Structure 1
Amino acid sequence: MKRVAVAAFALAAYGFVAPSFDAVAAGRTVKLAIHVNSADKKVMGMALNNAENVMKYYKDKGDKAIVRVVAYGPGLKMLLKGMSPVEKRIEKMSLESSDISFAACGNTHRKMTKKTGKKLVILDEAKMVTAGVVELMELQMSGYSYLRP
């Protein structure tokens, strides 16, 4: 034990010190799942604000943030062509970064299509998943942090 302490002291004296935690952590990738189940334009806007702010924060630190927005229930409106109050913003965000993606709940889509009798088309930027809730669970199990604005 004494030899380890002497070696550590000697290395420190010659400028060989361990990098700080911040230096070790730089370049890391963080992952965030954002849950949207409201048709309220303000909630949708807040979800997109959160996504942009998180991606900018980590980019400014030299890190990377991967964000997945999952919409189901009334929130599916966020990802429907011609119905989404944030359609243009989603298009712009998707063009600016490949680190944000959007998932539309297939269960909700099927039920809404049946109820309305209309063909409901999801945005080109979104991917249909079987179930929004399951998507959120799977993302969390694979290391994504969870946010519900």
Structure 2
Amino acid sequence: MSAIRIAMAAALVSVMGIAAQADEAVHKLAIQVDQNDPALMNLALNNARNVKSYYEGKGEKVAIEIVAFGPGLNMYVEATSPVKDRIAAMALESPEITFAACENTHKGMIKKAGKDVPLVSEATIVPSGVVRLMELQKEGYAYVRP
């Protein structure tokens, strides 16, 4: 094998090793909320907090995304969310926890209400909650439905 090929092979192995280490360095979790149930919403937030604390205690990084769609989108409705104060606090304290809101569901809520339905500022609108969960799983996120 020529010196150039050996060097190229070594570089490729090195890059692959770095990529594998980067993947292992961050634990990833997607949590689904699809029910308008305050107990389930709080359970999802508790799961996120507990997972974050676990990995933080081990000195490891974690990325957590809570995806709400269907009736679960009520978790993010500014006027009526039973957990909006917890979401606000968690967003400030834990930037590794993010909140995704299904645009399909939001549009349906607006149509049914006949007016805008503001969401909490911490929620990021994604085109589809189900598709977002699929994308996250493809990116290596573990999936939990409390």
Question: TM above 0.5, one fold?
Answer: yes
1:95 aligns with 2:106: no
CA-CA distance at 1:31 after TM superposition: 0.5
Helix, strand or coil at the partner of 1:30: strand
Partner of residue 37 from structure 1, selected from 31, 34, 39: 34
CA-CA distance at 1:135 after TM superposition: 0.2
| Unpaired stretches in structure 2, ≥5 consecutive residues | 1-20
Q: As a proportion of its length, which structure holds more helix?
A: 2
Which stretch of the first structure deviates more once superposed, 81-90 or 116-125? 116-125
Q: How many residues matched?
A: 124
2:64 maps to 67
CA RMSD of aligned residues (A): 1.2
TM-score by length of structure 2 reads 0.83
- The percent identity for this pair of structures is 52
TM-score by length of structure 1 reads 0.81
AA aligned opposite 2:40? V
Q: Which 4+ stretches in 1 moved above 4 angstroms?
A: none
Partner of residue 118 from structure 2, selected from 113, 116, 121: 121
Alignment of 1:1-149 (within 5 A): 28-149=25-146
Distance 1:34 1:89 in 2: 16
